[in-house]
Amino acid sequence: MALFVSFEGGEGCGKSTQAKALRKRVSAAGIPVILTHEPGGTPLGSRVRRLLKRVGGADISPLAELLLVNASRAQLVRDMVRPNLARDIMVICDRYTDSTVAYQGYGRGIGFELIQDINYVATQSLLPDLVVLMDVPVEVWLARKRPARPDRFELEDVSFHQRVRQGYLELASADPQRWLMVDATLPEGTIRSKVWQRVKGMLPQEGGEHL
C-alpha cells in the first residue's frame, strides 16, 4: 500500500496550507497522490462537517460530536482512503484520528479508551504512516487575524485550545517515530522543506529520486 500522511494541529496553525503544498510537491515528483480532509471528504462527511462547525445550530453534546466525527471518518476510510492506498496512491489527510483524541479527549474530556475504541472501529485500525503536527502556541494564534465568521471550535475559550495543544504535544512525544513536530511559526517555505525532507525519505526509492 502507498504512503498515508495526516496533518494535525490546533486552529490557525497552517496545516491545510502545508497539506496542499505537500500534495503539489508529491504530484510534481510524479507520484500519484490525493488530498482529503476531516470531517468531510465525502457527501456524507460534508454534511457532518457543516453540522459540527455551524454556530447557533443544534446543541451538540461531546459524545454526539465524537460519534458524528467518526461517522464521517468511517465513510471517508471506506470510500476514499483505503481504496486509494490499495491502488498505490498516496493519501494526504487534513486531520484524522489524532484530532479526535486532542479535541474530544483532551479538549472535551471524553475518556481516551472510549475514543480509541470508536476510532479503531471507524478506521478498521488504519493509522497514518506519518503524522505532521503543526504546533503553534495558542497566544500566537489569538494574536493573528481571526476569521470573520469563526466556527464552533474557533469560538471555544482559550483553556479549551490550550488543552488541545497540550494533547497534541503529548501524543507526538509518545510516538516520535511516527510524528513530525514542526514549529508552525516558521516561514511557510521552511516548513514545506522540513515536511518534504521527512516524506521524501519514506517514499519508494524511485519516488525519492525525482527531486
| Residue 16 located in a structural domain | yes
DSSP state of 145: P
- Secondary element (H or E) of residue 179: strand 179-183
User: For residue 152, which of 49, 2, 42 has the smallest C-alpha distance?
Assistant: 49
In CATH, what number is assigned to the domain containing residue 99? 3.40.50.300
- pTM score: 0.93
Q: What is the per-residue DSSP string for 25-91?
A: HHHHTT--EEEEESS-SSHHHHHHHHHHH-TTS----HHHHHHHHHHHHHHHIIIIIHHHHHTT-EE
The three cell numbers of residue 169 are: 504535544
Domain span holding position 50: 4-206
What pLDDT shows up at residue 2? 92
pLDDT of the chain along its 211 residues, tens only? 699 999 999 998 999 999 999 999 999 999 999 999 999 999 999 999 999 999 887 789 999 999 999 999 999 999 999 999 999 999 999 999 999 999 999 999 999 999 999 999 999 999 999 999 999 999 888 887 677 788 999 999 999 999 999 999 999 999 999 999 999 999 999 999 999 999 999 987 654 444 5
User: For residue 34, which of 78, 88, 74, 71 has the smallest C-alpha distance?
Assistant: 88
Angle at 125 between CA 124 and CA 130, to 5 degrees: 125
Backbone angles phi and psi of 102, in degrees to 5: -70, -50
| Residue 13 located in a structural domain | yes
What pLDDT shows up at residue 129? 98
Q: Please count the structural domains in the chain.
A: 1
What pLDDT shows up at residue 185? 95
What pLDDT shows up at residue 60? 95
Cα-only R_g, the chain: 17
What pLDDT shows up at residue 207? 44
What pLDDT shows up at residue 57? 76
What pLDDT shows up at residue 208? 44
| Residue 211 located in a structural domain | no
- Secondary element (H or E) of residue 5: strand 4-8
